[in-house]
Amino acid sequence: MLFAYPMLSLLMDALNVIDMRLRLIAAGKSTSEEMFLMFNEKVNALEEARVILMRGGDAARILDHYRKIVAANAARLSA
């Protein structure tokens, strides 16, 4: 049960970032660079999660890692 709260929190934060990106796209303010960045972030985050697991990390460390990425995206998109 302790694992569920961080996972749900990450989900809510990620949905917020998705909403911000969709609003930018709808307003015509999104660029092709943003789309490229979204794709690259996903690929890089997956690779970094794999490295965390290979080094003996657990799911909590991966969640923390993803939360940092999502928080950085939220800060960048809200600026």
Q: For 27-78, how does the pLDDT look when each residue is reduced to its tens digit (9 = 90+)?
A: 888 777 888 888 898 899 999 999 999 999 998 899 999 999 999 999 998 8
Enumerate residues 6+ apart whose C-beta is below 8 A from 78.
20
User: Does pLDDT of 1 surpass 60?
Assistant: no
Q: Do 18 and 12 contact (CB within 8 A), yes or no? A: no
Who wins on pLDDT, 79 or 3?
A: 79
Q: pTM for the full model?
A: 0.82
pLDDT at 2: 67
pLDDT at 30: 74
DSSP annotation of 28 reads: T
pLDDT at 6: 86
pLDDT at 5: 86
